[in-house]
Structure 1
């Protein structure tokens, strides 16, 4: 990353280059001491990398907007490199517009045309968005210039609003159109005028592909966004009109490929206001009650401004129009799929748009739910899978059994049969659905208490995912950190942190699932599972008491068994024992445990099942524990001033006994508890913090000992 000194040096170099350019622009080519091409290249290079600051941009623009001693190639390169580092000031815009037209001191027609194109591409990053509107009359008056007409029509098409559409301008456009024929850019501007006053401008105004302003040079635009990103994070949103207070324009090419139309208001009158005229939030609020509905309301599937308008100003007529269009379209798609013809290419676009709408409004249109209910049983499980899964995850809170039988089971069975990435996609759907329902129900915590039926919906959802997860784990051994297993862990991480007293219950996963995850062959899975148990422990600790009034004793005993068995495994050197209250020893029978213990003791009389899963010997954690011990031992040697060559170092995995012997035989004196706390911290720093969280939450006094 460049330092402040480097930036200051580069800035000074730029200003020197700009001064050299000013001198060169006043000096004939044969009298220059320095080649102007080198100066221009330096300015263009700096502009491409960091953009031109306000003062440099103003000076360079003043040079290229008048006749100078510079050659046309240099001027063209400079105009192409006018990347503003900040928003463009009014002075710069006025200078650029003032350079247009005919006159002795004006730049060449090619330069003027380049300046208009530059204004088109930067008009969304102007310091004052209304400056071009105030200069509308000046720009319109230059339409008689053949060299500028196309670019000017494109610019005027972008900035024209109802207030600009005057009778004399309509007359001039019609006369130009009759005089020069169907010039595409002029017809495009005339079409914009016709949208505002369809009763006055009759006939004509046929839009072709070249009638619309061409999209900005993608490379130029991408570079501009990158330059301005540091100071103006919203610039890209401005370019895409995604601030929600301007209608979207896809352009002619995308419009032909799209079944969702752009927003266009037809048959407006002089007193009405169209959505196309809205520029900002103040304008939208001020004119909300006077806005006319556009001609095709299906634009609302993609246009954020129309979505806001229909939300703030609901209309039964608008809703019926939308439902009728969607019903007719989706029915045709269903019939095509049912008869084996196949759905159209546009169905993907519609479903993606409906998903985007569902994510923004947090609900699914009833007509969409009706379509999915009949479409899912004949769906192939692959086509539009992401869109369909996304729509299902946004269904409103309702009885889970109804959603399961009507939607989820048909989709689940189809996915499992036909989609190779079924589980990888399907489990995250349940996570999103659980989050969605939680967001809908959680606000009731301050106002009311959900009934047993509502809480049952969450319980049934988690139970279904638990059964599905057990089936996945049982059918895909060995249990590694695959995307599917990761999504299962993510689901239960969400569940374990989403409980709200009296509203969203604490819902435990089954013991078979927890114990399978703890016994996996991945340190990540082990750590995340421990983190889930720590989340549940925190939920119980913060829940209103007594717990027995809210949850049955069997449930709390089962959870205490999870904690006891996991702590026995990792911390207490009592792995697989069932002697403690509520523990089940990971369902390992005493006979199996004894046989395994006998085998391990034959290998090493100081080894055994009790130690095999602890921090020092656990096959998933032993390498991290060994690295922890080495760092701790080296730090202690440094602190105590031991001779590194003479000190007795530990030879193997630390145990409580081996550390005591080491201290007596000339090694470092590190208590067993301190070593294990250091291991927990070491794991936490390496994305295995769930183990530390669980031990600190369950082992009495451990957290306080770690602080001291």
Structure 2
């Protein structure tokens, strides 16, 4: 970095010397120097002192060619805040005259001011020069950039009768110039009774961001510079954000305004004066709300203030502003892309506050009607996960049904995206319920509605995308449901909705041990929840739906135990067992297949601990561990033989007779469960310990 700094200083010095000489008198061409300088600027930006010197090369009379000056402007990335001197140098270079830069360079300079507007050290400096720039609107070559910049900085104090008259006259002279109409619309926001609708109609579209890629590179450079300086001292960020990074790229009239407080009382404190947590707390009740409360969408300090001191009228004003922007788009007065830009701003607000108020939910209801399901997908889905608990049918009909229609395109990928969204929504709702003091005030019935709805989606995904990665996504959702039913505070208010039986069976017969283990762990949690609900100590009685749920749950619980522990896979003779719901006509074919593979095997045992495709390696590894432990003091293994595997009750008897391990069938199976626990696969042991009475007694005695 030091070499780069030194290099830029040398390049600047060379360029300054070259700028004082006509091209014919220079000993070396200036183009290579400009190329090297712009490369360094693109890499790390210009420090404040360097920025001033570079701006001098652009604004003051010199012998540099216009192409070189243009290249400098296009790569003029400030690494920190832009000071007042730099801004005033550029504003002072605008206009006509022999000593002024060419109009093409003036246009580039104005574009640069638009690009760095959010990083000005003093945002009010341009406001002080408002009259100078406004009086240059008759210069056609720089008018589009001037209108855009003026639109960014226009406030009520700037909208004077003579300026309204001037710009109305200019719009008539220019034949409804798009940039003029755009600025006129900003004026209309302040005085709609003076500037009527006809004056702002035309082909003008919203002001577009001049160069999003340039802005992205600027943000990277400034972040790098900030990170490098952070070690020199702790920066105090507990202050109003005067350069909101969440500005929308739509019309200037729809920009999120910075925090500014006008007409503050003498005994009040403005938010702009707050510079520390202590000062914020001391003056919490005295802080005057800013003039435009819509700044809450992008200013963290204002968000903190309204969270601690809610203001119903303020939130209503924000809602009116948002819906006004929506109306502009629907009426054709603003570009449809404005809605997605607004969605990004609202996402920043929601991610900071963890709240999506109903006023903003209305906005998303309208946005989803025109959304293509692709553009800014992550932003929209992430924002909607913060929706408040409300009646499930109302939420689904007003928002989620349209969201699914936009998102789903008959591919597993879109279905997985929807499942991830619902998983995040469930987690956020769970957090809100755990934090609530009075759960009866929340629409907790929405939880069962959400789970029932997603049950259908998970069942679909097991058919459209039968892969372990998909199964793990499904289990992520049911981890969330398990977290609710395992919470004694939440369970009485939410009830229990079990996963579909077919989903359970499909995941159980997965070829992934992680999937099987997580599934069993979730079912163990559900079993404990049912026991709590049905306990004599519980004053709650099950409704018909819950009794049906109990029967379904007991069915696949018995089937899993028959497969894993009892050696009776697909049996139908036990109470509640459903034979994993395979058609009975298939069972004889399965028995013949197993007998053809190994005549000593039976269909009932092929999914037990020893033979299961996902558990057999762990089972035989446990036996090998026991065998390796049989070493005497001389370091020799005392066993005469090792088990060839897989382990059965009969093979253990024969093994002991041949001088191998002396291990009972029950001890072997209990040992495999402990081995699974030690290796991080706790699900199967948890389910067995919570279901099989013999294992319950063993665990009780061992503890």
**TM-score w.r.t. length of structure 2:** 0.64
Give CA-to-partner distance per residue, 1:280-320, whole Å, 9 cap, x none.
12212333344343344332111111112233344455334
Determine whether 1:305 maps to 2:301. yes
Q: Secondary structure at the match of 2:480?
A: helix
CA contact (8 A) 1:497 1:536 kept: no
Q: Secondary structure at the match of 1:502?
A: helix
- Structure 1 residues 330 and 633 mapped into 2: Cα distance closer, same or farther (>3 Å)? farther
CA contact (8 A) 2:641 2:659 kept: yes
Determine whether 1:498 maps to 2:484. yes
The separation in 1 between residues aligned to 2:570 and 2:676, in whole angstroms, is 23
CA contact (8 A) 1:576 1:588 kept: yes
Determine whether 1:468 maps to 2:460. no
Equivalent of 1:380 in 367, 372, 376: 372
- CA apart distance, 1:408: 1.3
Match of 1:540 in 2: 530
Q: Secondary structure at the match of 1:614?
A: coil
Match of 2:227 in 1: 222
- Structure 1 residues 563 and 551 mapped into 2: Cα distance closer, same or farther (>3 Å)? farther
Q: Secondary structure at the match of 1:402?
A: helix
Q: Secondary structure at the match of 1:616?
A: coil
Match of 2:612 in 1: 618
Give CA-to-partner distance per residue, 1:76-134, whole Å, 9 cap, x none.
9xxxxxxxxxxxxxxxxxxxxxxxxxxxxxxxxxxxxx9999xxxxxxxxxxxxxxxxx
- CA apart distance, 1:654: 1.0
The separation in 2 between residues aligned to 1:581 and 1:353, in whole angstroms, is 57
- CA apart distance, 1:584: 0.4
Q: Give the stretch that moved more between structures: 466-475 or 270-279.
A: 270-279
Q: Secondary structure at the match of 2:521?
A: helix
- CA apart distance, 1:572: 1.3
Match of 1:603 in 2: 597
Determine whether 1:702 maps to 2:695. yes
- CA apart distance, 1:461: 1.9
Give CA-to-partner distance per residue, 1:356-403, whole Å, 9 cap, x none.
323444432333222332332332111122222233322222221222
Equivalent of 2:317 in 314, 321, 330: 321
CA contact (8 A) 1:624 1:683 kept: yes
The separation in 2 between residues aligned to 1:625 and 1:216, in whole angstroms, is 56
Q: Secondary structure at the match of 1:503?
A: helix
Match of 1:139 in 2: none
CA contact (8 A) 1:273 1:290 kept: yes
Give CA-to-partner distance per residue, 1:519-568, whole Å, 9 cap, x none.
22322221111111011012123336247823544332322222211111
CA contact (8 A) 2:248 2:341 kept: no
CA contact (8 A) 1:597 1:609 kept: yes
Match of 1:638 in 2: 631
- Structure 1 residues 383 and 335 mapped into 2: Cα distance closer, same or farther (>3 Å)? farther
Match of 2:655 in 1: 662
- Structure 1 residues 448 and 474 mapped into 2: Cα distance closer, same or farther (>3 Å)? closer
- Structure 1 residues 352 and 190 mapped into 2: Cα distance closer, same or farther (>3 Å)? closer
- Structure 1 residues 189 and 462 mapped into 2: Cα distance closer, same or farther (>3 Å)? closer
Determine whether 1:423 maps to 2:409. no
Determine whether 1:351 maps to 2:343. yes
Equivalent of 1:512 in 490, 502, 506: 502
CA contact (8 A) 1:561 1:582 kept: yes
Equivalent of 2:560 in 542, 558, 566: 566
- Structure 1 residues 326 and 623 mapped into 2: Cα distance closer, same or farther (>3 Å)? same
The separation in 2 between residues aligned to 1:654 and 1:549, in whole angstroms, is 45
Matches within 5 A, 1:585-600: 585-600=579-594
CA contact (8 A) 1:562 1:583 kept: yes
The separation in 1 between residues aligned to 2:329 and 2:245, in whole angstroms, is 25
Give CA-to-partner distance per residue, 1:563-587, whole Å, 9 cap, x none.
2111110111111101111010101
Report the RMSD for the aligned CA atoms in angstroms: 4.5
- CA apart distance, 1:646: 6.5
The separation in 1 between residues aligned to 2:609 and 2:542, in whole angstroms, is 36
The separation in 2 between residues aligned to 1:679 and 1:433, in whole angstroms, is 38
- Structure 1 residues 592 and 301 mapped into 2: Cα distance closer, same or farther (>3 Å)? same
- CA apart distance, 1:223: 5.0
CA contact (8 A) 2:350 2:386 kept: yes
The separation in 1 between residues aligned to 2:636 and 2:500, in whole angstroms, is 54
The separation in 2 between residues aligned to 1:677 and 1:370, in whole angstroms, is 57
- CA apart distance, 1:643: 4.1
Give CA-to-partner distance per residue, 1:422-444, whole Å, 9 cap, x none.
12221122223333334444567
- CA apart distance, 1:268: 5.1
The separation in 2 between residues aligned to 1:601 and 1:564, in whole angstroms, is 25
Match of 1:650 in 2: 643
- Structure 1 residues 702 and 316 mapped into 2: Cα distance closer, same or farther (>3 Å)? closer
CA contact (8 A) 2:508 2:519 kept: yes
The separation in 1 between residues aligned to 2:677 and 2:551, in whole angstroms, is 28
Structure 1 gaps of 5+ residues are 1-40, 45-71, 77-113, 118-150, 158-172
Match of 2:272 in 1: 276
Give CA-to-partner distance per residue, 1:14-35, whole Å, 9 cap, x none.
xxxxxxxxxxxxxxxxxxxxxx
The separation in 1 between residues aligned to 2:553 and 2:634, in whole angstroms, is 48
The separation in 1 between residues aligned to 2:444 and 2:687, in whole angstroms, is 27
Match of 2:472 in 1: 486
